[in-house]
Amino acid sequence: MDTNKLMPLLSDMAIFVTVIEQGNFSKAAKKLGVTPSAVSRQISRLEDALGIKLLERTTRQLALTESGNLTFDYCKQMVESAEHAVNASCSATSSVSGLLRVAVPRSLANKVLRPIFTEFLKRYPEIKLHLKVTDRILDPIHDGVDFLIHINDSPIEALVNVNIGYVKQVLCASPDFLEKHSLPAHPDELKHLPCICLGENVTDSRWRFSKKKQQLTVQVSGTYLLNHSDMRKDAIVQGFGIGPLPDYLAQQGIEKGTLIPLLQDWKMQGNYQGGICLQFVQSKYMPNKNRAFIDFMKQMSLMI
């Protein structure tokens, strides 16, 4: 296809990407500021020009055909290249402004990063910060975020990683609980004590510990399972059992005496601990707003 025939299709390809990312014509039309019928016409025009069927249309949803799936990948790359071109021009200016989209875990956002984010906005008042608070690890490209913050000792290899902190799990109990039960001196003794597990999968009741070269796994049990860290803290304080908490959440209770740390010479293994990773897509041309956020988070890493 020559350039003259290709140029009119570029906008149709971009609209095609928007339709797939939004999930239907109505949402895509709303985002683009046009009518759903206009979006439908442009998709049909693109199908006619390419000579293939891109979508299977039903009354409730859209599904990509095999050809549509392959076409979407190329169209998505085209849109991303256009974004990089815009970013290249933005990076040439001195202004630190615009929209930043950051995905961050719920508990970490609320208990640790919230004051840091507000301080960032005070320093850069022309930045519009959109936080996507979720415990699901998003894909910066397909989920439309500039930065992904998550707790993991194994950062996503395809992304640039900046380590801004560390989180470890602390095994805790309440003073009242320890008055009624013996203080565990070894992880094996947890088998005989009520414990509070996350309950996300069958392995959550098998707690793994390490101490120097020692490795062991303990099967624990209890009557209360929950994967909400604040609720788990409240349950531990109320004496429902022994449970793990991220150190940033346990510290205040330990200082107040409402929580007692246990087995401190052992390291508890598992999820929701490790390096706090700030990750983003590698780009030769980075907007000033992105660079400002990275530099600011590096400075704040001493406080995390």
* pLDDT tier at 277, thresholds 50, 70, 90: very high
pLDDT tens digit sequence for 94-123: 578 999 999 999 999 999 999 999 999 999
Q: What is the pLDDT of residue 88?
A: 61
Q: Select from 111, 159, 157, 132 the least CA-distant residue to 281.
A: 159
Domain 3-91 has CATH 3.40.1160.10: no
Q: What is the pLDDT of residue 1?
A: 52
Question: Dihedral of CA 170/237/200/117: which sign?
Answer: negative
- The predicted pLDDT at position 278 comes to 96
Q: Which two tokens stand for residue 111?
A: 């208990």
Rounded Cα distance, 245 and 233, in Å: 7
pLDDT band at 249 (very low <50, low <70, confident <90, very high): very high
Class of the domain covering 98-168+274-303 = alpha beta
Q: How many Cβ atoms from other residues are within 10 Å of residue 203's Cβ?
A: 13
The CATH-assigned architecture of domain 169-268 is: 3-Layer(aba) Sandwich (3.40)
What is the structure's pLDDT at 23?
Answer: 86
Alpha-carbon separation of residue 34 from 12, 53, 176, 202, 299 (angstroms): 13, 23, 62, 48, 43
The reply to whether domains 3-91 and 169-268 share a CATH topology is no
Question: For the chain, what are the domain ranges?
Answer: 3-91, 98-168+274-303, 169-268
More confident residue, 142 or 129: 129
Once rounded to an integer, what is the mean pLDDT over residues 210-236? Answer: 94
Return the C-alpha torsion angle 149, 151, 156, 157, nearest 10: 110
Q: From residue 141, how far is each of 73, 81, 156, 200, 271 by CA, in Å?
A: 12, 12, 13, 27, 24
pTM above 0.85, yes or no: no
Closest CA to 291 of 109, 119, 118, 120: 120
pLDDT in tens, 159-197: 999 999 999 999 999 999 999 998 999 999 999 999 999
Query: 16-58 pLDDT, tens per residue?
Result: 999 998 888 888 898 888 898 888 899 999 999 889 999 987 6
End-to-end CA distance of the chain: 54
- What pLDDT, on a 0 to 100 scale, did the predictor assign at position 222? 94
User: What is the C-alpha separation between 175 and 238, in angstroms, rounded?
Assistant: 9
Residues 232-248 pLDDT 10s:
999 999 999 999 999 99
* Closest among 163, 161, 165 to 281, alpha carbons compared: 161
- pLDDT confidence tier of residue 5, bands split at 50, 70 and 90: low
Beta carbons within 8 Å of 195's beta carbon, 6+ residues apart: 205, 207, 220, 221, 222, 241, 242, 243
The mean of the pLDDT values for the chain is 90
| pLDDT band at residue 60 under the 50/70/90 scheme | low
